[in-house]
């Protein structure tokens, strides 16, 4: 009783803290904050082209004074960045590595680096530890931080409220399209390819001048994506137009190479941005092992300080262009870059095309410039305010000196100057702080002369801030300056349809004459003619017998019919050749038969699936059907067909018919009929049940079927001859001998 009472009290105690909550409420309160944090604060880049991790790192380096001067150890930067970024040092250093010149991931790196930083095109090339490498900001970062100290963007507290950091960076060019960025959030992802800086600047200028610029005009300016790894881009204008309009699609990249005639080798110098050398090497290795790349005798990674190089040694007489076309088709030397332009705009994710992103960047940049100009305007107004105070004391310098000299207390100096000259406290503080040596007419007059030029500057700033066209003109001027200083020729070359060499089919199976053999127990052998010379006696297991044997070629497709209403297809080349003295391979295991399933027909389909050829099925219930071989011709690479024939009655025999032949059908009671196959009706449906060929007595079934020469060689075969169906069959006058199909 005491135990039950204690358990009841515990239950009541637990239930007091449990309350029912709908799953939707749980998701809203617990899951959605996580989702929004990942989207807004981690995975998706904003309109400045940076994720928070990038922004925190670069701003830390900026505050460390690394825009100018010597490099510092990467470990120092990582440690300082942890004041803004609460993640571990390894995550911060990985972010730094990708932004460096040494990693080669960006068209315009933000970090000037010294040391080993791995390579974007290699997943296994490790970067050195942060204590060994050195970094500073690249000169292009001056454009990233332009105006940041002039209130161009909002400053927000860091994670522990001990310092401020920028919410965005006021970049003077559309970095969001110049630096590639990928990220996976919750329920969405972003994948932005890079574009050429000069082309982006020109496209933005065109959009500033004409906000209704068409996609076709924009495509003429920003021709296509441009990747740091170079390579070639297969130009499809319609596909690019869709990406430019919707922000979704893919571009096809392929490696660039040269052919060294002297040494007979191909040197691959640039590969697609989306692949790695390790993936390419593995695929080439697999193709060579499979015997599908016989043109290559050797290949090696020759990456050195001069850059990327993958060398392929070729067999004499190999066409390098044809070989590369094959490699483009079957390796990642040609690869797709999937575009998904998801960008955070004012904290909300939006999928935008190129024009849409540039339009949003223009809005953002106009806001930054207005804030920057407003900051400068305030500074100039403050200066004007102070200079006007100087103008007032110029009228009576001696009086100002006397006020300061005759004041007994320091705290009274500013109030007495305010009263004496009719100036405010800020002006009085400025006058009181002037050095004694500057209280002369010459100094004051020279300073007052600035009032006129300062007034013009203030007027110009006020007009510019109020006129958006003037701000756009200023943005255009900055974009032209950025292009002049940092613009580079395209690295990714455009490849047009006329320049593409068609790839040959890699499945160029070596062809030679073979003999294929199938036994009753399911053993299959492929034997070359060469191995058959003088040794053509087929070895079989005890009690096994050959049910099919045929001469064909190694390029043939083979079709097998099983006793479970299924058809299987395989390439002759899929089987290894064996000697006649070997047992061969177990076909059900090779083709994946079900338990207890066995083959009853084998045929080489070297000539295709002609409609005039048939497969004849004879069933235990005395029925038979003729199905056109064309019914088994399938599109694609299907290896198994279910419903190969009717399952209404167990099948006794499956016979391949190229032309009409004699067929002998024997029942369990000894009766039989010999008919020509032309009597059996053709059914175009594979699963047709057929018609009655032999009328059976109750309890009797078809037991044996012989076709062609085996049927006519049967003892007293002529006695069974029938010209009409169905037929009850006749009893033999002599005991039948056991003759099986295929015996001679």
Task: Count the Cβ atoms, other than its own, within 10 Å of residue 391.
Answer: 13
Contact 432, 414 (CB under 8 A): yes
**DSSP assignment of 510-553:** ---EEEEEEETTSEEEEEEHHHHTT--PPP--TT--EEEEEEEE
| 673 and 711 Cβ atoms separated by less than 8 Å | no
The Cα-based distances of 620 to 293, 502, 742 in angstroms read: 50, 54, 21
Residue 92 Cα to chain centre, angstroms: 25
Candidates 132, 159, 496, 529; catalytic one: 132
Conformational region of residue 115, where left means phi above 0, alpha means psi within -120 to 50, and beta covers everything else: left
Tokens coding 569: 């297809």
| Whole-angstrom distance, CA of residue 408 vs CA of residue 9 | 82
> Quick check: bond before 268 cis, omega within 30?
no
Please list, in sequence order, all residues whose beta carbon lies within 8 angstroms of the beta carbon of residue 611, skipping any fewer than 6 positions away: 628, 629, 630
SS3 of 657-707: the string is: ECCCCEEEEEECCCCEEEEEHHHCCECCCCCCCCEECECCCCCCCEEEEEE
**Distance (Å, whole) CA 44 – CA 55:** 13
Could you give the C-alpha distances from 675 to 443, 645, 678, 682, 719, in angstroms and in order? 130, 21, 8, 15, 11
Orientation of helix 354-394 relative to helix 397-406, angle to 10°:
80
The reply to whether 375 belongs to the active site is: no
Report d(CA 39, CA 188) in Å as an integer.
8
Measured distance CA(171)–CA(208) in Å, rounded: 16
Q: Which residues are catalytic?
A: 132
């Amino acid at each position: 009783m005491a135990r039950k009472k204690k358990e009841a009290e515990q239950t009541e105690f637990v239930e007091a803290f449990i309350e029912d909550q709908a799953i939707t409420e749980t998701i809203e309160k617990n899951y959605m904050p996580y989702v929004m944090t990942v989207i807004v604060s981690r995975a998706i880049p904003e309109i400045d082209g940076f994720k928070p991790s990038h922004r925190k790192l670069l701003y830390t380096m900026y505050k460390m004074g690394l825009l100018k001067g010597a490099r510092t150890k990467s470990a120092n930067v990582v440690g300082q960045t942890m004041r803004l970024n609460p993640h571990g040092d390894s995550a911060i250093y990985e972010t730094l590595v990708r932004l460096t010149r040494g990693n080669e991931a960006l068209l315009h790196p933000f970090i000037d680096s010294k040391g080993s930083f791995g390579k974007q095109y290699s997943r296994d090339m490790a970067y050195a530890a942060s204590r060994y490498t050195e970094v500073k900001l690249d000169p292009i970062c001056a454009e990233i931080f332009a105006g940041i100290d002039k209130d161009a963007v909002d400053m927000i507290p860091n994670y522990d409220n001990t310092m401020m950091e920028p919410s965005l960076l006021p970049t003077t060019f559309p970095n969001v399209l110049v630096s590639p960025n990928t990220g996976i959030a919750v329920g969405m992802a972003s994948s932005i390819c890079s574009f050429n800086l000069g082309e982006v600047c020109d496209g933005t200028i065109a959009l500033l001048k004409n906000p209704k610029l068409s996609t076709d005009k924009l495509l003429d300016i920003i021709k296509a994506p441009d990747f740091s790894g170079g390579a070639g881009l297969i130009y499809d204008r319609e596909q690019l137009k869709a990406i430019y309009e919707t922000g979704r699609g893919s571009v096809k990249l392929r490696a660039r190479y040269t052919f060294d005639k002297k040494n007979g080798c191909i040197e691959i110098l640039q590969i697609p941005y989306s692949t790695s050398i390790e993936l390419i090497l593995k695929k080439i290795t697999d193709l060579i092992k499979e015997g599908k790349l016989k043109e290559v005798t050797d290949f090696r990674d020759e990456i050195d300080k001069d850059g990327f190089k993958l060398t392929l040694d070729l067999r004499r007489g190999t066409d390098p262009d044809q070989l590369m076309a094959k490699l483009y088709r079957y390796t990642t030397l040609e690869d797709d870059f999937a575009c998904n332009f998801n960008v955070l705009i004012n904290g909300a994710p939006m999928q935008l095309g190129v024009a849409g992103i540039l339009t949003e960047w223009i809005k953002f940049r106009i806001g930054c410039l207005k804030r920057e100009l407003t900051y400068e305007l305030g500074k100039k107004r403050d200066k004007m305010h102070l200079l006007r105070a100087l103008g007032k004391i110029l009228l009576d310098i001696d009086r100002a000196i006397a006020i300061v000299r005759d004041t007994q207390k320091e705290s009274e100096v500013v109030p007495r100057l305010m009263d004496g000259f009719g100036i405010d406290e800020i002006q009085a503080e400025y006058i009181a702080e002037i050095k004694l040596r500057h209280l002369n007419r010459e100094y004051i007059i020279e300073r007052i002369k600035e009032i006129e030029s300062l007034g013009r500057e203030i007027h110009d700033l006020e007009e510019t801030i109020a006129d958006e066209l003037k701000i756009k003109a200023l943005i255009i001027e900055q974009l032209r300056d950025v292009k002049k200083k940092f613009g580079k020729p395209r690295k990714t070359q455009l490849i047009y349809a006329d320049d593409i060499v068609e790839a040959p089919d890699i499945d160029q199976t070596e062809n030679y004459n073979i003999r294929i053999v199938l036994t009753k127990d399911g053993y299959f052998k492929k034997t070359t003619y060469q191995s058959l010379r003088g040794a053509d006696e087929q070895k079989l297991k005890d009690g096994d017998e050959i049910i099919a044997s045929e001469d064909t070629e190694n390029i043939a497709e083979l079709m097998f019919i099983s006793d479970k209403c299924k058809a299987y297809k395989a390439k002759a080349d899929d089987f290894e050749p064996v000697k006649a003295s070997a047992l061969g391979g177990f076909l059900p295991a090779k083709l994946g038969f079900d338990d207890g399933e066995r083959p009853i027909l084998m045929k080489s389909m070297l000539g295709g699936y002609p409609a005039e050829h048939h497969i004849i099925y004879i069933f235990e219930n005395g029925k038979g059907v003729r199905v056109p071989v064309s019914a088994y011709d399938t599109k694609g690479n299907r290896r198994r067909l279910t419903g190969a024939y009717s399952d209404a009655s167990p099948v006794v025999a499956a016979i391949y018919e190229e032309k009409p032949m004699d067929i002998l059908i024997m029942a369990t009671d000894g009766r039989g009929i010999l008919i020509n196959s032309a009597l059996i009706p053709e059914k175009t449906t594979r699963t047709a049940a057929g018609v009655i060929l032999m009328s059976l007595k109750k309890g009797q079934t078809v037991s044996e079927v012989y076709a062609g020469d085996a049927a006519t060689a049967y003892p007293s075969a002529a006695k069974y001859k029938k010209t009409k169906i169905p037929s009850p069959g006749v009893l033999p006058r002599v005991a039948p001998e056991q003759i099986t199909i295929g015996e001679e």
